[in-house]
Chains A and B, each alone.
Chain A
Amino acid sequence: MNAVATVSSEEPGVEPSSSLLAPDFLRRLERLKLLARRRFRGAASGSRRARAKGSSAEFADHRPYSPGDDTRRIDWNAYARLGELVMRLYVAEQDLAVTLLLDRSASLGVGTPPKIQVAKRVAAALGYLGLSQGERVGVVPFADGVARPLEPGRGRGRVGKLLRYLDQVDVDGTTDLGRAVDSFLARRPRPGLVCVLSDLLDPGGFKRPLDRLISEGHEPAIFHILDAEELEPTPGGDFALIDVERGTRVEVSLDRHALAAYRARVSAFLADVEGYARARGLSYVRVGGDVDFEDALLTYLRS
């Protein structure tokens, strides 16, 4: 049974939201495995290896026997060789906590298509994959704070709920990634994969919040949502650019010199984000512009 059939048959009420995911794209996602670079402590067994030793068939290590241990896991061969009781430890498989930290600030409302649409589709794809593979997927929309989140949950049965939830997310407020991360961490979430879907156009910067996530044991994955016009403005014309979040006004004539200066700034910004991600071993995917979000997602999943 393919994913499309699963969605349409199990969640008959999700048609409007299912437009976020093209059927062909869902079929391709079905074949991919969501990979994480670090092992996470899971609350339930899943298809992902966890750092904690557990009861799976894959040997991991030995430890001295302690009273109360499961005697079925004593390594008798080692006792024969060493004369000490040691316990066989196995890699425990646990589900991955995937948190979609979705930027819903007003800046995501601009673009063609609006960046929020792109972000939602990426979030929907990530969530669908996570749920399909038994991961715990939650959604935390944020702007200058955290809105009502979609609590983490497992199972393909949550796909419809996830899509409906995402469909209801609307843009509003200013970007404050720092406050959003603080609010998110205040809930003491289980460490896991935190997919940050944002344009990162935050006057407060993006590094400190992401560093905080890392320091709390999370692995951020950056999905940088940008519009083509932001990456390469159309030349010509005199404009008053209005910042939809802060309301600031910048008068600019889109001539050769101004565009060159802007491109230099954009390049520096992108290089800064990518460099940050590379330095910390984080995944970085830019979506929008000349990078199609589906291709970017597949690239991320194969990495």
Chain B
Amino acid sequence: MRLLAPVSLAWLGLVVPLVLLYVLRRRREERSVGSTLLWEAALRDLRAERPWRRLIPYLSLLLQILVLLAAAFALARPAGLGAAPSGAQVAVVIDRSASMATRTRLERAQEVARGLLGALPPGGRGMLVGAGRDALVEGALSSDQVALVRAVNALRVEGGRADLDAAVALAAERLAGAPSGSRVLLLTDGAEAGSVTVEGLAVPVEVRRVGAPADNTGLVALDVRADPSPGHPDRASLFVRLRRAAETPREVFVLASVGDALVASRRVELPARGERSLTLEADLPPDASGRAPFVSVRLTAAGGATAEPFDAQPLDDLRVAPSPGLRRLPVFLVGRRMPSVERVLRSDADVELFETTLARLAEREDDSPLDGLVIYAGELPAEAPPGDSIVVAPEQPSAFELQVGAEARGPRIVSWNEDDPRMRFVSMADVHLGMARPLRAPGARTLVETDVGPVVVAYERPSGETTFIGFDPARSDWPTQPSFVVFFRDLLERARMRRARGGVPAGGLGVPLSVPAPEGQEVTVTTPAGESLSARSRGGVALVSIGSEPGVYRVEAGGRSLAALRNLDALGEVDLQSRISLTGDGEASAHRIERAEDHRESWPWLALLGLVFVVLEAGWATRRGAA
């Protein structure tokens, strides 16, 4: 409980004159009478009749003091913690980590935030910061309480861990220079392993905990690998890892299913604060249309499927993964043959290779984009096709978005981008180029730089990405290097992963789906719970806001059926115990994380109490006799 307008307690000073009014004699109209004998006797009778009568003035004084107390405290606006005094600014930071999905933690935080931002003090302004993977200002500093409450209501849990420290720092930085009494209020369940700096910032920081610590068991990993055998061509191994974040062991059931069909199950005894790994065997045949299925692994308390929540944290009780069949990547070789590239592709068992030409592709009756990786050698279409592609040794002055420079003889490689995932484990140190064309385009990412310019670049579009190689590998010694194989394997893996996710970039729970789609096209998403969402594409991408529910999100975009898999990817979120630490100036802070209270101002109750006292006092005043 804090007072938002403590200066109003100055009204308590009225107690002094009030008491003085009682101490000083009341000014009465003087009236001459023949004799006061009878009056003196009458008053004696009155006092003798009611011996407590002399208390009445003091009772009246007591009631009036109580009225003053109630009124003064009401004006001081006593309210729950986190509230701000008049004219102050308050930034509410809400933890959006996965652990906040536990029971009603987020709802509780939203409730507290609504109470605070929906009842800003006079002249006050509020701000809402969402603390997810990134700290985002969800509601800008404003006095528009309706907009702030709307922003609070729109807040969703993300599947990852929250960078609370960055969020608090961002909020404090935005409030720098704010009037006295301004503060940052962090609402979190504290189920983060990190620390939050709460001292030495521009404004004071209050940390309030929502929810109580809870026991939890979660799925922390799921991998599906093909394991065919002569009798079971569709056999797959499901590698599952579970974690128990509680002080007691627990028996759980692990159920694997495809769609509604249960394909494997296992009973597992989990130790206290321990992990267990297990492997399930299951046949995962393609569905009737030949498409590979998605595998769901779920934790239940009983042997069968149940709709009841397994435990406090529902986000880690389900994981989904593509079946191995989905990993076979169609690769289309368009143009002239490149034996070195073909050799790499054929060495990958999960690649299905097609050789074709632009003319044959144009003759296709189905004009839908190719569902795989397209490698152009020599000839190119006018525009980049949707999906992923590789362009090798372009001969035209321009290739899609790029400008292709003049052919340079024997350029020397001067650097390569080791941080790019396409160049993972790729070293160009011993690669020599016989002939190459520099490639230039604004927005393109340079992967390999020569003394004549970039010769390997990547260009990402909402609908896909294209990797450009400005030279013919046959005119270099690169194919003889291991890095050549690794480079193409990286590109294949990247295309495979994108395809396995249905063309929708990966993301955590609660992160909007980014669906590539032509401008203005309507994209419809069906959530795992069957809810239908839609959004229209703008700038080549339709952003569809989704909840924090794990599972398979089915996407329909222009006749294409895509799928987006969402799993809890922050394993630390399985532990729902409060373990965050508060620091200040590099040392542990003396701050205590207290339980979040509602921002309920008590002044209406105090005002009501004061009114009751007034009524009582009026009752006494009208009923009492001589004072």
**9-residue interface stretch from A5-13, A143-151, A213-221, A252-260:** A252-260
Determine whether the beta carbon of B43 is less than 8 Å from that of A201: no
B36 touches A241 (CB 8 A): yes
Bitwise interface map of A from 229 to 252 toward B, beta carbon under 8 Å scored 1, else 0 = 110000001111111111011111
Distance in Å: Cβ of B625 to nearest Cβ of chain A = 4
Enumerate B570-603 residues with CB–CB distance to A below 8 Å: none
**Which among A35-43, A50-58, A263-271 touches the partner chain?**
A263-271
The answer to whether B29 touches A253, judged by C-beta atoms less than 8 angstroms apart, is no
Q: Which one of B29, B34, B36, B43 has the highest number of Cβ atoms from chain A below 10 Å of its Cβ? A: B34
A176 within 8 A of B: no
Residue B383, interface by CB 8 Å? no
List the B side residues contacting A250 at CB < 8 Å. Answer: 36, 39-40, 43
Contact call A265/B42, Cβ cutoff below 8 A: yes
A111 within 8 A of partner (CB): yes
Contact B43 A258 (CB under 8 A): yes
| Inter-chain contact A261/B31, CB cutoff 8 Å | no
Chain A contact residue count (CB 8 A cutoff): 40
Residue B362 at the chain A interface, CB threshold 8 Å = no
In the complex, A195 has a CB within 8 A of chain B: no
Which of A107, A255, A256, A261 is the one whose CB lies under 8 Å from B42?
A261
Given known A250-B43, A251-B28, A257-B625, contact A203–B37 (CB-CB < 8 A): yes
Shortest beta-carbon distance, A303 to chain B, in Å?
27
| In-complex Cβ contact of B626 among A106, A253, A269 (8 A) | A253
A199 in the interface (beta carbon within 8 A): yes
A226 CB to closest chain B CB (Å) equals 9
Interface of B is mostly: mixed
Question: Do the beta carbons of A238 and B36 come within 8 Å of each other?
Answer: no
A262 at the interface (CB under 8 A from B): yes
- The answer to whether B33 and A242 touch across the interface, beta carbons within 8 angstroms, is yes
User: B25 to chain A: which residues have CB within 8 Å?
Assistant: 251
In the complex, B366 has a CB within 8 A of chain A: no
Q: How far is the CB of A130 from chain B (nearest CB, A)?
A: 27
B261 at interface by CB-CB < 8 Å:
no
Q: Are A261 and B46 in contact (CB under 8 A)?
A: yes
Whether a CB of chain B sits under 8 angstroms from the CB of A227 is: yes
Bound: A109/B32 CA distance, A: 10
Chain B residue at minimal CB-CB distance from A109: B34
Determine if B26 is an interface residue (Cβ-Cβ < 8 Å): yes
Q: Do residues B43 and A239 form an inter-chain contact, with CB atoms below 8 A?
A: no
- Within 18-46 of A, Cβ neighbours of B (below 8 Å) are at none
Question: Taking the nearest CB of chain B, how far is it from the CB of A280, in angstroms?
Answer: 23
Report which of B31, B46, B49 forms a contact with A241, defined as CB distance below 8 A.
B31
B34–A242 CB distance below 8 A: no
CB of B154 within 8 Å of the partner chain: no
| A121 interface residue per 8 A CB criterion | no
User: In the complex, A242 Cα to B33 Cα: how many Å?
Assistant: 6
* A110, CB-defined interface residue at 8 Å: yes
Q: In the complex, which residues of chain A have a beta carbon less than 8 angstroms from the beta carbon of B308?
A: none
Please determine whether A245 and B38 come into contact, CB atoms closer than 8 angstroms: no
Verify if A224 is at the interface (C-beta below 8 Å from B): no
Assuming the A-B contacts A110-B32, A239-B28, are A265 and B624 also in contact, with contact meaning beta carbons closer than 8 angstroms in the complex? no
Cβ of B36: which chain A residues have Cβ within 8 Å of it?
241-243, 246, 248-250
A199-B41 in contact (CB<8A): no
Counting CB contacts under 8 A, is B35 at the interface? yes
Does the CB pair A201–B37 fall under 8 Å?
A: yes
Q: Which residues of B contact A261 (CB under 8 A)?
A: 42-43, 45-46, 49
The CA of A115 and the CA of B35, in the complex, are separated in Å by 12
Determine if A108 is an interface residue (Cβ-Cβ < 8 Å): yes
Q: Are B38 and A262 in contact (CB under 8 A)?
A: yes
- CA distance in complex: A256, B34 (Å): 22
**Interface residue from B30, B34, B41 paired with A227 (Cβ < 8 Å):** B34
Give the residues from 86 to 116 in chain A that come closer than 8 angstroms, CB to CB, to chain B. 106-111, 115
Known: A227-B34, A269-B38. A237 touches B45 (CB 8 A): no
Interface residues of A (CB under 8 A from B): 106-111, 115, 175, 199, 201, 203, 227, 229-230, 237-246, 248-253, 255-258, 261-262, 264-266, 269
B-side residues, CB < 8 A to A, are 25-26, 28-43, 45-46, 49, 624-627
Shortest 6 CB-CB distances between A and B: which pairs?
A: A107-B34, A201-B35, A257-B625, A261-B42, A262-B42, A243-B36
